[in-house]
Structure formats: structure tokens, C-alpha cells
Amino acid sequence: MGLIGSRVLRCWEPDSVDLLQQEYSARPSSHISGSHKRKESSEHDLRPTCDSHRSENQEEYPQEFLSTSDGKRVKITSEYAYEKLFLNGENSDIKISALGKVWCLHKIYLCHSGYFANMFGGSSKELHKNMIELDINDKNIDVQSLHFVLGSLYRDECIFMEPFKVPNVLATAFLLQVENLIKQCIETMKTTINATTVCGYFAAAETYGLDSVRAECFEWLLHNLMTHPCVELYKEIGLELMNLLISSPDLLVMQVEIDIYTMLKQWMFLHLNPAWKGSMKELLANANNWFSRNRECIGNITFLDTEEGITFKPVFKNLRFQHIFCGLSAIRVIEQDFLIPSEWLSSVYKQQWFTFLKARRYGEIGPRDINETEFERYSMRCGKKIIKDGRYIWKWSGYNFGFPLHVIFTSHCIIFKQNTCNQLREVYSTLQPLRNIAFRLTLVSFDVTGRLSFSKTTGYKILTLKNDEERVIMKLDSIPLSFPLYIFCNFLFISLENTKNCQSCTLDNINT
């Protein structure tokens, strides 16, 4: 269970003002005094003045005491204000009607909301009304969140709240301009991002302009989409969000680009069959069976060309097909699934063959410099999970235009090796004595919530390797490692000129 209040959200420190200023635009500010004492920002306050209203009600609601019906004066505590005044509506001087419910409230407490402070301030006609009807058009605001936010105006102490309810509270707090509650929602969202909450938080952050929350949610998704796959998370991710994730160079890819395609196939199946229930282990087989049965019904039309599939086309366009069609097994999967339009495939085949011939004809030795923007757009994305300590050796893909690169991991270092033993020399007949490779390698581990607990990167680099040469890419001797570890890398094996020609021609054909 999450908490809106000091038990999960730290008491507001001076720099909490800066946090709020980064999240939404400033509104008129002033200090509100009155019977309800609360922590307020000295530099940024959403609540305009309500002095005219307070002066009229000072006798009825003095700062610390309230007169009861029998003439006794009762000290107003937070508990008393909430239970007697808010929940029971005692001594109410205003009724708020919204979403089919009526609350009997008090103007002096409502003025802790900037919305009501504006409404009751000055010569506003609402100042003398006994009933205010709120017209609420935000679908994120419901009766429960409105009750919660109105009640918060009467309270100082910690308020418990389930994290999945926070977007609703945030929406209501923005409507009513309750500064402290907005700040608490922001902090709660940042500290409770997980597979259950991340998509709701991301949507709320986009709706209400919380850039830092949006960035943290997006980063969490980039890190966890493939490293910690989850059926319910895949169901929650919409088309636009998935499009952003798949196109990002910072997506932490498990294995290679064909595995991104496989993940998208599973995600698409879940959106077409939202009632499906099962585990991740069962998901791929069920998705394959469903698309196979569907193929029998639609004949020679690829799925993304059908009425059902065309919605998903923009997402699949972001796959880097030149890095999928570098191995026979991946090509067989694509051809057998019959999801991808045939014109996309023929375009990739043509451009890959053209790039191969050009690289062979001109003795391709690899990239000579790095344009980071172009590198991020065209590089091969891949990753591997290291379960426990030991020595591991692998290669992420096959031919790589005559560059058989192997990766070696130990607890001391990560090594790249161009493995060109005698048997391979016959296969890779076009091997150059020196080859360049552009790359960015990142080593990470996660905590139980999916947040990064450790991260180390090489940054963007170009490495020159001789035949059979080993080079240490990252030293780990002094770093305490916790497993599992994840190693991710972006690679370019051929010059950006060749890569751009291949990819741009492919994209032109796909887009048409």
C-alpha cells in the first residue's frame, strides 16, 4: 500500500518547491492563514487570497476554537475537523454538488484550495451562494478521488492511499489547485513505479504536464519491457507508447532484434485478445497458434495488411529489419508468421544484398567516426542476461558483413574478440586484416521493483581490431557485482554511409 503523506512521502523540504515548479506553471500566490494549519511553500502557492471571506467568518470560526450548539468552545484539531466538520458536515455553510453526490462543507476550509479561493474571493457571486455545482469533465476524476481531496483540506496528518488511485487524486488536486497534494502525488508516483502502476502514471504525467514523472516512467519501461516481461504490462501499453519504446535506441533488448519482433507479436496478440489469461511461458505458443489459425482464414494477405492488423503497422515499422535479416533462422520465422507485408521484406532483402556487395567490393573496414544521432538510429541493439558469476563467451549475431565478433564476460572485465580461426577464414573470405566497430556497451542490474541498482557504460566508442585480437572493453575488478547482471550493446559493423543507404531505402519502401 502506498501513502500520501510523510510515512512514504518525506516531509516537504525547501527544495520541494523546485520540484513543483518543474512540474507545472506557476499561478498567483499568497499566504493563507486560518484555522487549518498546514505546511506551505513560501515561493510558490496555487491558492489566491481569500481575505474577504475569512474576515466575515472569523467570529464563526476563530483560529483554534469552534463554538458548539451548547455554547462550549472546542479546540479544533485535525481529527476533529475531519470527522465532525467534513464527514458529519456540522456547522456547514456551503454545499458542493458533483458527480451525483453532495458534500456539506465550510468555506474557510475550502479556501485552502486555489480553485475555491478564487471562487469565494472578492466580489464573486459564488461568495453568497449556499450550493455550488461543479461541472467535472475530466474522466480521471471520480467520486472517491473528489471525496479524498476535499477531505484533505481538513487534515494535517498522513493520509493513506493506494498507488493505483494516485492518478485520480492528482487529476482532482489539479482541478481544485491543492498544492501540497499535487506535490505529494508527484513524489508518490516517482517512488512507486512498477509494472502495475507505470502505464497509469505515464498517462497521468502526459495529461497534466509532469515532465519528470513521465521521464522516469518511460525510462522504467525502456529498462523492463524486455528484461522483465509481464502479460499484464503488455496489455496496458498502448500503440503510441509502444511506438515510442520500440523506436528508442535506449531500449534494453534481450538477445537481438528478432526478439523485439517476437515481443511485438505477443503484445499484438494480447491487444487483439484482451481476455486471454495465462503466463509468459504460455504466451508465445498461444500467439503463434492464434495467428496461424487466422492465416488460414485470410489467405494470401499478410496480417498487418488486414483490417485487424493495420492499426499495428506504425509500431512494426520501427523494427530495424536490416538487423533481423542477418540470420537464416530469423528469416524463417518472419516468412512463416506471414505478419509483415511482402513489400517490406523484398525491400530489405534487396538492400541487404546491395550492402553486402558494396562492402565486399570496396573492402569494408567499418565505421571511421561516430555521429551519435545516426548511430542511435541505425545501430544493432542486443543484450544478454548473466545469471551468476563465471566466464561466458557468446556472439549476438552471425555474419556481420565479415566481422565474427565474440563477447567474453568475467567478473574482472568484458572483452571483445574478432574470432577468425583457420576454419572461419575459409567462410569469411573477405576478412580484412583490420576492422573497425562502433559500439556502446552498458552493464546494469535491477532491484526488486525494476529500478536500476547499478549501471556502467562505455559511452560511444570506435574500436579497431586485428584478426584474432582481444580487447578489454570494460574493467570490473573493483566493482562489487550482484547477479543477475544484464549486458546491453549497440553495434555498427559497417560504415554509416552503407547503413544509411540500406535503411533509408528500406524505410521509403515500407512507408509507401
∠ CA 137-142-146, nearest 5°, is: 100
Cis link prior to 480 (omega < 30° from 0)? no
Tell me how far the alpha carbon of residue 456 is from its chain's centroid. 21
Grid cell 487529476 — which residue?
171
8-state DSSP, 127: G
Model pLDDT, residue 136: 94
Model pLDDT, residue 158: 58
Grid cell 453532495 — which residue?
102
Residue 136, class by beta-carbon neighbours within 10 Å (0-12 exposed, 13-18 middle, 19+ buried)?
Answer: middle
Cis link prior to 484 (omega < 30° from 0)? yes
Rounded Cα gap, residues 243 and 263, in angstroms: 13
**Which amino acid, one-letter code, is at 146?**
L
Per-residue pLDDT of the chain (512 residues; tens, 9 = 90+): 443 333 233 223 333 334 444 444 433 333 223 333 343 333 333 333 344 333 343 334 333 445 444 545 455 677 888 999 999 999 899 999 999 999 999 999 999 999 999 988 866 666 677 899 999 999 999 999 999 999 999 987 657 778 999 999 999 999 999 999 999 999 999 999 999 999 999 999 999 999 999 999 999 999 999 999 999 999 999 999 999 999 999 999 999 999 999 999 999 999 999 999 999 999 999 999 999 999 888 888 999 999 999 999 999 999 999 999 887 899 999 999 999 999 999 998 898 888 888 877 777 788 888 889 989 999 999 999 999 999 999 998 766 676 788 999 999 999 999 876 544 444 444 556 788 899 999 999 999 999 999 999 999 999 998 888 899 999 998 888 999 999 999 999 888 765 555 445 444 555 55
Tell me how far the alpha carbon of residue 381 is from its chain's centroid. 19
**What are phi and psi for residue 345, nearest 5 degrees?**
-65, -50
Q: Does residue 14 contact residue 183 with C-beta atoms inside 8 Å? A: no
Nearest to 16 by CA among 205, 183, 148: 183
CB atoms within 10 A of CB 228: 15
Rounded Cα gap, residues 234 and 271, in angstroms: 8
Model pLDDT, residue 56: 41
8-state DSSP, 11: P
Widest Cα–Cα separation across the chain: 103
Which cell numbers in the block locate residue 225? Answer: 519491457
Tell me how far the alpha carbon of residue 301 is from its chain's centroid. 34
Nearest to 319 by CA among 242, 373, 404: 242
8-state DSSP, 84: I
Residues 6+ apart with CB under 8 A from 461: 370, 438, 439, 440
Nearest to 184 by CA among 31, 38, 34, 25: 38
Q: What SS3 class is residue 62?
A: coil
Is the pTM here over 0.85, yes or no?
A: no
Rounded Cα gap, residues 424 and 488, in angstroms: 26
**What are phi and psi for residue 241, nearest 5 degrees?**
-65, -45
Which cell numbers in the block locate residue 184? Answer: 505529494
Rounded Cα gap, residues 345 and 316, in angstroms: 12
Rounded Cα gap, residues 163 and 169, in angstroms: 10
Residues 6+ apart with CB under 8 A from 135: none
Model pLDDT, residue 150: 96
Residues 6+ apart with CB under 8 A from 342: 302
